[in-house]
């Protein structure tokens, strides 16, 4: 089929208001909006001003009203404990109402913040929707973060309530959440009024009733038995739906704020046009609700579009084997799968020939979408060969909430180009600029930016931090949103994303800040200064690697200090940081103005060609770092060589 992409993109360019108005008309509003886009409101303008709606209504109740109440909305599959469940739209409404009733009993209403710190279980999704139903603002915290990170988020958003579970399940271990939550609540300056705790069979947590702990299941059951009805609360289109914290360049995470109206309109549009699914189709985003992929494509977008969404607790490998993804696809007749390339690298590592595919019926699968990190061509080609469906690399980030650049399966695929994420989606006018803010010639590497205004569904600001948002994203390139990614646009407008321009790394598809890790390393009493860089990893894409310089006169065993620093990062940030390597070094390489040469260190560690920077203070230090890295097994790849400047 001839792709409709260019026509649709041109329609948007010609009249963005008409484009988004038409998209908005497919959803239900209590009160129609006055203007599609009001440039005078918010930091860069606001979408659907004057409109009133409810996201939960549009995700669930709307489908029931349209007579689709008995169709499947959520499919739950745990490869960790074998649990399976299916919920129709009608059942999902009941589940959500019961949780909303409990929240309401505890005084949660429009605008109140609720932190959700839960594993991948249906109650987590229903809790998010219960908040949306009440007009409360949820902030989901990924289970792999430790107490300090959780406390930071509770404090920053001023959470009134926390919803959590007794434990998460990781391969080979049960992860007790409650001690982490208790520690976080003790640390937080803003104490939540109550913590709703869901007890899982694998581990029962002792509840601190005196601190406001409430048994989730018991409280929810009471409301179910009573049949308590909780109607959706109309909220302004511009009211916040959620805050999702993501790594910034410091240890203080950025609270990305998403509104109700723009978010639902944009996400709804993507399901048919980008992902090519129709109401009733089964869509599976194999991610976690703690990340933006989970928010957008496990929870909101598929439900808004009337799809059945798969909630999967498990890993692509080891739970129990590298055929798990194929089992889920075949058991539930998944039409479109979305995951991070690292998941496929893991499967390929365990099962290079992909033989397990033959044990399952994957005939319903029509496409695989990849995002979250750069897709290496070998993995992409492997996935294509094994699955025999188009494999579509697309690019977006927590801030945007939905794809900036993709090959739109629903509009008809465009020709693929190796290493490229294809074309900008309607709403995004993508350009590539040099550091001075001028467009670079096609084919030249530069800063990828999006011309303002950002389309509906993108962040409206950082929580309580408009100025930080302006400074971080809008100031460097006036009139544009800075994506902090570097890339190339070719003659035909195809975009290839190459690397971050800041200190964010992508580790197993998880976004991590090396700056935040440096802050933690520096907390160790023996550490004078430190640097953390991302080094290439065949499975996870990148993993963090730390370098610490010890304070004068520290004479303790260096290996012991290294272990302590690793433990410190794990206990402060969490296991998700995947911080396993740190090296004591005598000095860090710096420019004469004192800037640590992280980029050059990274090249050395990755075995890439590197040159001695002209501005270096003491060239001998880089040679020292190079030899330490080689002793530790890095910097060995062919070409890992110092080139003459």
Q: Would you call the peptide bond into 567 cis, given omega within 30 degrees of 0 as the criterion?
A: no
The residues facing 485 across adjacent strands are 448, 500
342: contact with ligand COA by CB under 6 A: yes
DSSP 401: S
Site track for ligand COA across 321-340, x = CB under 6 A: ------------------xx
* Torsion 591-597-599-600 (CA) sign: positive
Angle between helices 147-157 and 178-187 (to 10 degrees): 50
Which listed residue (274, 292, 303, 367) binds ligand AMP by CB under 6 A? 292
563: CB partners within 8 A, 6+ apart: none
472 binds, among ligand COA, ligand AMP, none (CB under 5 to 8 A by kind): none
Which listed residue (236, 497, 505, 569) binds ligand AMP by CB under 6 A? 497
Q: What burial letters (b/e) apply to 80-99, b meaning 16+ CB within 10 Å?
A: beeeeeebbbbbbbbbbbbb
373 binds, among ligand COA, ligand AMP, none (CB under 5 to 8 A by kind): ligand AMP
C-alpha dihedral, 263 to 265 to 268 to 274, nearest 10°: -90
Nearest CB to ligand COA, comparing residues 302 and 613: 302
Could you say which residues in the range 357-416 bind ligand COA, by CB under 6 A? Answer: 372
How far apart are CB 500 and ligand AMP at their closest, in Å? 5
Q: CA-to-CA distance for 85 and 214, rounded, in angstroms? A: 25
Which listed residue (509, 541, 589, 640) binds ligand COA by CB under 6 A? 509
Residue 287 CA: distances (Å) to CA of 299, 312, 335, 500, 608: 11, 8, 16, 21, 31
395: contact with ligand AMP by CB under 6 A: yes
Strand 430-433 relative to strand 446-451, pairing: antiparallel
Q: What burial letters (b/e) apply to 550-572, b meaning 16+ CB within 10 Å?
A: beeeeeeeeeebbebbbebbbeb
Which listed residue (83, 174, 175, 452) binds ligand COA by CB under 6 A? 175
Tokens of 32: 């129609």
Q: CA-to-CA distance for 265 and 464, rounded, in angstroms? A: 24
Q: What are phi and psi of 266, to 5 degrees?
A: -65, -45
Nearest CB to ligand COA, comparing residues 505 and 621: 505
- Choose the stretch contacting ligand AMP; rule: CB under 6 A; options: 99-107, 137-145, 387-395, 517-525: 387-395
371: contact with ligand AMP by CB under 6 A: yes
Could you say which residues in the range 409-438 bind ligand AMP, by CB under 6 A? Answer: 421
500 binds, among ligand AMP, ligand COA, none (CB under 5 to 8 A by kind): ligand AMP
* Torsion 619-620-623-629 (CA) sign: negative
Which listed residue (315, 335, 394, 524) binds ligand COA by CB under 6 A? 315
On whether the CB atoms of residues 402 and 301 are closer than 8 A, the answer is: yes
508 binds, among ligand COA, ligand AMP, none (CB under 5 to 8 A by kind): ligand COA
485 binds, among ligand AMP, ligand COA, none (CB under 5 to 8 A by kind): ligand AMP
97 binds, among ligand AMP, ligand COA, none (CB under 5 to 8 A by kind): none
- Choose the stretch contacting ligand COA; rule: CB under 6 A; options: 33-41, 204-212, 506-514, 592-600: 506-514
The size of the interface with ligand COA (CB under 6 A), counted in residues, is: 27
- Choose the stretch contacting ligand AMP; rule: CB under 6 A; options: 235-243, 371-379, 520-528, 543-551: 371-379
506: contact with ligand AMP by CB under 6 A: yes
SS (H, E, C) 567-606: HHHHHHCCHHHCCCEEEECCCCCEECCCCECHHHHHHHHC
Nearest CB to ligand AMP, comparing residues 223 and 393: 393
The residues facing 274 across adjacent strands are none
Which listed residue (58, 127, 330, 398) binds ligand AMP by CB under 6 A? 398
DSSP conformation letters of 95-146: HHHHHHHHHHHTT--TT-EEEEE--SSHHHHHHHHHHHHHT-EEEE--TTS-
246: contact with ligand AMP by CB under 6 A: yes
- Choose the stretch contacting ligand COA; rule: CB under 6 A; options: 313-321, 379-387, 469-477, 602-610: 313-321
Residue where the block lists tokens 């599976």: 284
447 binds, among ligand AMP, ligand COA, none (CB under 5 to 8 A by kind): none
Nearest CB to ligand AMP, comparing residues 54 and 483: 483
198: contact with ligand COA by CB under 6 A: no
346: contact with ligand COA by CB under 6 A: yes
Q: CA-to-CA distance for 599 and 622, rounded, in angstroms? A: 12
553: CB partners within 8 A, 6+ apart: none
216 binds, among ligand AMP, ligand COA, none (CB under 5 to 8 A by kind): none
- Please give the radius of gyration of the chain, using alpha carbons only, rounded to the nearest integer: 24
Q: In 3D, which of 171, 249, 199 has the Cα closest to residue 511?
A: 249
On whether the CB atoms of residues 345 and 311 are closer than 8 A, the answer is: no
Contacts 24+ apart (CB under 8 A), 83-92: 83/313, 85/122, 87/122, 89/60, 89/63, 89/64, 90/64, 92/60, 92/126, 92/129
Which listed residue (16, 51, 143, 255) binds ligand COA by CB under 6 A? 143
Which listed residue (123, 485, 518, 606) binds ligand AMP by CB under 6 A? 485
10: CB partners within 8 A, 6+ apart: none
How far apart are CB 256 and ligand COA at their closest, in Å? 15
How far apart are CB 344 and ligand AMP at their closest, in Å? 13
372: contact with ligand AMP by CB under 6 A: yes
Could you say which residues in the range 249-288 bind ligand COA, by CB under 6 A? Answer: 286-288
- Chain contacts with ligand COA (rule: CB under 6 A): 143-144, 168, 170, 175, 286-288, 291, 293, 315-317, 339-340, 342-343, 346, 372, 507-510, 540, 575-576, 578
- Chain contacts with ligand AMP (rule: CB under 6 A): 246, 291-292, 371-375, 393-395, 397-398, 421, 483, 485, 497, 500, 506, 511
């Amino acid at each position: 089929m001839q792709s409709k992409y260019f026509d649709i993109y041109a329609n948007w360019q010609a009249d963005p208001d008409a484009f988004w108005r038409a998209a908005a008309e497919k959803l239900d509003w209590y009160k129609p909006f006055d203007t599609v886009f009001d440039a005078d409101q918010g930091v860069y303008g606001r979408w659907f001003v004057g409109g009133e709606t409810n996201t939960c209504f549009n995700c669930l109740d709307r489908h029931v009203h349209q007579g689709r109440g008995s169709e499947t909305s959520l499919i739950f599959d745990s490869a960790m404990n074998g649990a399976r469940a299916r919920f129709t739209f009608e059942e999902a409404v009941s589940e959500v109402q019961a949780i909303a009733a409990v929240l309401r009993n505890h005084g949660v209403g429009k605008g109140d913040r609720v932190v959700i710190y839960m594993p991948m279980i249906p109650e987590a999704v229903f809790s998010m929707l219960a908040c949306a139903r009440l007009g409360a603002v949820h902030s989901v915290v990924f289970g792999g973060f430790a107490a300090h990170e959780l406390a930071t988020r509770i404090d920053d958003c001023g959470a009134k309530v926390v919803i959590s579970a007794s434990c998460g399940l990781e391969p080979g271990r049960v992860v007790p959440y409650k001690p982490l939550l208790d520690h976080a609540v003790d640390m937080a300056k803003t104490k939540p009024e109550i913590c709703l705790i869901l007890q899982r069979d694998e581990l029962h947590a002792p509840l601190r009733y005196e601190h406001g702990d409430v048994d989730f299941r018991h409280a929810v059951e009471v409301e179910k038995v009573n049949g308590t009805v909780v109607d959706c609360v109309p909220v302004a289109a511009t009211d916040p739906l959620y805050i999702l914290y993501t790594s910034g360049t410091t240890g203080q995470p950025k609270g990305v704020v998403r509104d109700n109206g723009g978010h639902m309109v944009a996400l709804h549009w993507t399901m048919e046009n980008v992902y090519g699914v129709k109401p009733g189709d089964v869509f599976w985003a194999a991610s976690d609700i703690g990340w933006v992929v989970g928010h957008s494509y496990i929870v909101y977008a598929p439900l808004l579009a009337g799809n059945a969404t798969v909630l999967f607790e498990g890993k692509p490998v080891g739970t129990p084997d590298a055929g798990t993804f194929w089992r889920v696809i075949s058991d539930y007749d998944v039409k479109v799968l979305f995951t991070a390339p690292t998941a496929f690298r893991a499967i390929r590592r365990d099962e290079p020939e992909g033989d397990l595919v033959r044990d399952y019926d994957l005939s319903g699968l029509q496409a695989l979408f990849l995002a979250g990190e750069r897709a290496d061509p070998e993995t992409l080609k492997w996935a294509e060969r094994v699955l025999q469906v188009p494999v579509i690399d697309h690019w977006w980030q927590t801030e945007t909430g939905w794809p900036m650049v993709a090959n739109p399966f629903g509009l008809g695929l465009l020709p693929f180009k190796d290493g490229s994420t294809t074309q900008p989606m309607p709403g995004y006018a993508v350009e590539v600029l040099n550091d001075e803010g001028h467009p670079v010639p096609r084919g030249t590497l530069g800063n990828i930016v999006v011309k303002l205004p950002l389309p509906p569904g993108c962040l409206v600001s950082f929580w309580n931090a408009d100025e930080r948002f302006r400074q971080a994203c809008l100031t460097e390139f006036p009139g544009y949103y800075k994506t902090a990614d570097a890339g190339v646009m070719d003659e035909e407008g195809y975009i290839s994303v190459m690397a971050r321009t800041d200190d964010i790394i992508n580790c197993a598809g998880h976004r991590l800040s090396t700056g935040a890790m440096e802050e933690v390393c520096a907390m160790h009493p023996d550490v004078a200064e430190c640097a953390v860089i991302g080094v290439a990893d065949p499975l996870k894409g990148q993993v963090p690697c730390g370098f610490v310089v010890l304070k004068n006169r520290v004479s303790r065993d260096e290996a012991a200090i290294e272990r302590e620093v690793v433990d410190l990062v794990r206990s402060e940030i969490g296991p998700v940081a995947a911080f396993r390597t740190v090296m004591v070094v005598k000095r860090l390489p710096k420019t004469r103005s004192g800037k640590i040469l992280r980029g050059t260190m990274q090249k050395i560690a990755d075995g890439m060609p590197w040159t001695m920077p002209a501005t270096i203070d003491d060239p001998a230090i880089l040679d020292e770092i190079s030899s330490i890295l080689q002793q530790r097994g890095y910097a060995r790849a062919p070409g890992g060589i110092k080139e003459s400047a």
